Amino acid sequence: MRSYPDNCAAIILAAGLGTRMRSNKAKVLHEISGRPMIQYVTAAAKKIVGKNVVVVVGHQADVVQDVVEQETRAFFAHQEEQLGTGHAVRCALPAVPGHVERIVILYGDVPLLRSETISRLIDAHTGANRDLTVLAVDLSDPTGYGRIIVDGDGRFTGIVEEADGTPEQKRITSINTGIYCVERAFLEEALPKLTNENAQGEFYLTDIVGIGYHQNRVMGVSTAPDPKEVAGVNSLDELARAQEVMAQRLSQRDR
């Protein structure tokens, strides 16, 4: 497993409340095996990018920041209004250290992602000299997820959401996890071009893929080995499932 502390940073999106958790506690503060889930994400990122960790906070920002700083030295960016993932990354960019050339975008509610998978994503990205690499995963039942679209040459061309997919596209089992490795220069150019002309009125990070395609940017896909790693926690049931997986990991580690 390689680390990239000299030229790579991680932006971790952790501003949401998480209304489906049926709690007044910010989502990333919910615990798995006695530890707030955000700490698993920051720990995995720190192994790869060292001190170049930026956490986007919003709901209960002070508490989230205190919890992160218990284990990880990080930079923080505040997202006053939650206007989408693209907006969150725009808020974070000014906090990224100036020497950083590429950025991995992670989520505070995806606590099972391993540092090895982050490292492989960056390896694939740098090895192919790409502008953008998306982390995908193969699911036996991809219903409800955005599908990864590639052309006849195997070139990554976009992400098609379930509602917009053709019958053929809906048979694709490779889905978007929302985790990316992006060259900073491309990200700085693409983010201002995002619009919120959609039903939610939000700025979606996924739209940078379309921008990259129309600019003939070099884009590609890296596939995570285990779907459980990239499962987001958005409800109490999903929290319970993440707890089961983490408990298994910890018991195997202690053997």
**pLDDT 10s digits, 173-209:** 999 999 999 999 999 999 999 999 887 888 999 999 9
Name which of 123, 142, 125 is nearest 134 in CA terms.
125
**Exposed/middle/buried for 43, CB within 10 Å: 0-12, 13-18, 19+?**
middle
Name which of 221, 218, 227, 161 is nearest 185 in CA terms.
218
Confidence of residue 155 (pLDDT cuts 50, 70, 90): confident
Q: Which structure tokens are listed for 59?
A: 């709901």
Task: State CA 110 to chain mean position distance.
Answer: 8
Q: Residue 163: its pLDDT value, please? A: 82
**Percentage of the chain surpassing pLDDT 90?**
76
pLDDT in tens, 84-102: 999 999 999 999 999 999 9
Catalytic center residues? 20
Average pLDDT, stretch 212-219? 93
Confidence of residue 161 (pLDDT cuts 50, 70, 90): confident
- Asked if residue 103 lies in contact with residue 56, where contact means CB atoms within 8 angstroms, the answer is no
* Cβ-count burial 133-172 (b if 16+ within 10 Å, e if not): bbbbbeeeebeebbbbbeeeeeebebbbeeeebeeeeeeb
Residue 248: Cβ within 10 Å count: 11
**Whole-prediction pTM:** 0.94
State phi, psi for 239 to the nearest 5 degrees.
-65, -40
**Exposed/middle/buried for 252, CB within 10 Å: 0-12, 13-18, 19+?**
exposed
Structural domains of the chain, ranges and CATH numbers in brackets = 8-136+177-253 (3.90.550.10)
pLDDT in tens, 102-152: 999 999 999 999 999 999 999 999 999 999 999 999 999 999 899 999 887
Confidence of residue 18 (pLDDT cuts 50, 70, 90): confident
Residue 249 makes CB contacts below 8 A (sequence gap 6+) with none
Q: Residue 255: its pLDDT value, please? A: 54
